[in-house]
Structure 1
Amino acid sequence: ALVLLIASALLIRSFDRLRHVDPGYETQDLFTFQFAPEEEYLKDAPSFARFHLEFKERLAALPGVERVGVVENVPLDESVSSERFQSEATAGDDDSGTLLSFTWTAGDYFRAMGIEVLGGRIFTDDDHLTHPGNVLVSRSAANLLWPGQDPVGKRLRMRNRETWETVVGVVDDVLQDSFRQAAEPMVYFPLVGQDPANSRPISSPGYVLKTRRADEIAPEVRALVRQVAPTAPMYRVYTMERLAARSMTDLSFTSLTLGVASGLALILGLVGLYGVLSYAVAERTREIGLRMALGAAASRVRGMVVGQGAKVLMAGILAGTAAAFLATRALGSLLFEVGTFDLSTYLIVTGLLVLVGLAASYLPARRASKVDPMEALRSE
């Protein structure tokens, strides 16, 4: 019981800390989806970009939609690509570059997601039309490339490209893959609808809708998708709250399973302790009666039985603590910001188990203190 209780307590503490992680964006009132249009006129990267830039405006006209953003990889749903980037100050033959993640965005993505702009500005319509070479970087990316400096106005490039990009804004870090993983240093490119040289062939980006109708807007969005691309499948339909919950599914399920198991084990343990002490009292009825006949106080008899229960408890706690220390190592991959030997968790769980165990010992002890000495001796 102690092993299961400690394991479930560690998982519950991990789950609670995971729930309070700041991912760098909001999760409430956000609806996300993707679809892949296959219209004949979508023949190159700019045509796909123009299609999605225009479609986001139609989405913005839906009732209750406050903002619409487009992103190549929706956080908590898809991973992003990574590449080595060089800053203008350090670029050279011997500079291998800094590994950064990158993605493409359009529309009001940063405001829709609630991602804080820390400096400079976000993308404008001009950035999306002709791409004058502007990018945004996350806070951690800026710290890696230009530590202690203002990155706005600085230039960077992918190591394998000759084109330099100018940083026009800095945004806060976001958790991309999971609440468990640290934020990736990120570079954001604008989705470009005119310049073929700087347009990426993104056929099915993710859409993010800021709306209080996130749980019910899917049918209207699906109808709009059918209007512009009748044969296009609409998929990866989620709310951000669901994606956030999915990110913690493994921990919550394991916590629930171990919690139920530990509860059953605790009940069985207490019933067993109660049964052992009740049997001991029954077997020692004559001894208890004799003690009381010789003047032993009822409180002393109760203390004797509770003390016997305490010895059983201590033996179980010592063995259980050692077993828990070994068993919880298997939970290392599930725990979040909690060590496998978290002293406070061990002390709290052990203390509660002692209190409950002593309470279970009290009933047999109370029965023993009410033994009638004459009846006990006469029955023998």
Structure 2
Amino acid sequence: MPRAYFHRVTPDFFSTLGISLRNGRTFLESELRPDSRVVIVSEHVVTRFWPGQDPVGKRIKFGQLASQNPWLTIVGVAGEVKYRGLPENPTADPDLYLPFVDRAQVSMVMRTNVDPASVAPAVRQAIRDVDPTIPVFAVSTMTERIADQTARSRFTTWIMGAFAGMALLLSAIGIYGVMSYLVSQRTREVGIRMALGATPREIVRLIVGRGARLIGAGLLIGAVASIALERLMSTLIYRASIVDAATAAAIAALAAAGLLACYLPALRAARVDPLVALRTE
């Protein structure tokens, strides 16, 4: 294992953060001492070193095999967690958990059924009651921490969304103009069909049907290209996906613009006198 992150935690750490234990157990209160020789590993460690095996009871060591570091016995397997940022791949550098011991700086995680922000003052006061010299800093809720992590991505998404909205508007206008032009070019054909007995409804159905096939083909090509680009976008924007309401709305807007561009000129052409339509160049 080239590199791993380790965390000193108490027995309730996993249940507080909702981290599931895939196998084994959490730490015991009696194991919260510096000389404990137990460890909880993340799933990636098991997948890499003991695929298809039960790792509980096996031993690992930090550093080189020849080092004086003690062997640690695995007592549990924890689910993967994104500690170092939401876009992080948790399997890149796995996490190891050791029993908590006193340190110069510690982080405390609390879980509450009420608004977390309302509990913060009481927590600060409780710590002051124990030791007024202990500084309490960087107090934040999980929602605030996630918002901080995603601030840059959300700003990027907003900028890209604004440009995408402009592109969508221009695309809709362009589709409307092109389809209107194509329909107007068939005015003479409409006159011939009406002279041969075609009804206005049949004319509209014919023109809209042909236009719908063109629109459908274009949207299909665009959807395939979007799927190909989704992986690239996921590296720039957290949880980027083409399967969402915004994508569906954009496709629907483009389809509606194209169909409207077919329907309105087709309706006008169907109402034109066949003799006038036949004289159209």
TM-score, normalised relative to structure 2: 0.67
The equivalent of 2:267 in structure 1 is 366
Deviations 1:171-214 (A, max 9, x none): 32322324441344332222324xxxxxxxx4222211011222
Deviations 1:207-265 (A, max 9, x none): 11011222422222233445534572511x33234444555555555555544544443
Counterparts of 2:231 and 2:51 in 1: how far apart (Å)?
38
Judging by fraction of residues, say which structure has more strand: 1
Counterparts of 1:328 and 1:114 in 2: how far apart (Å)?
30
The alignment partner of 2:259 has SS state of helix
Counterparts of 1:353 and 1:328 in 2: how far apart (Å)?
20
> Letter of the aligned partner of 2:97 in structure 1?
Y
Counterparts of 1:122 and 1:323 in 2: how far apart (Å)?
47
The equivalent of 2:90 in structure 1 is 182
Pairwise CA RMSD of aligned residues? Answer: 4.7
The equivalent of 1:205 in structure 2 is 106
The equivalent of 1:334 in structure 2 is 236
Taking every aligned residue pair, what percent have the same amino acid on both sides?
33
Q: CA separation of 1:308/1:271 partners in 2, compared to 1, >3 Å: closer, same or farther? A: farther
The equivalent of 1:270 in structure 2 is 172
Counterparts of 2:230 and 2:121 in 1: how far apart (Å)?
46
Contact kept in structure 2, 1:133 and 1:164, CA below 8 Å: yes
> Letter of the aligned partner of 1:210 in structure 2?
R
The equivalent of 1:169 in structure 2 is 75
The alignment partner of 2:135 has SS state of coil
The equivalent of 1:48 in structure 2 is none
Uncovered stretches (5+) of structure 2, i.e. residues with no partner? none
Q: CA separation of 1:132/1:338 partners in 2, compared to 1, >3 Å: closer, same or farther? A: closer
Q: CA separation of 1:119/1:356 partners in 2, compared to 1, >3 Å: closer, same or farther? A: same
The equivalent of 2:140 in structure 1 is 238
Deviations 1:108-129 (A, max 9, x none): 2122122233444322333224
Contact kept in structure 1, 2:208 and 2:266, CA below 8 Å: yes
Answering whether residue 56 of structure 2 is matched by residue 152 of structure 1, we say yes
Q: Which has the higher contact order (CA 8 A, sep 6+)?
A: 1
TM-score, normalised relative to structure 1: 0.53
Answering whether residue 23 of structure 2 is matched by residue 116 of structure 1, we say no
Uncovered stretches (5+) of structure 1, i.e. residues with no partner? 1-83, 85-97, 194-201
Q: Work out the number of aligned pairs and report it.
A: 268
The alignment partner of 1:123 has SS state of coil
Counterparts of 1:104 and 1:128 in 2: how far apart (Å)?
9
Judging by fraction of residues, say which structure has more helix: 2
Counterparts of 2:26 and 2:69 in 1: how far apart (Å)?
20
Shift of 1:366: 1.6
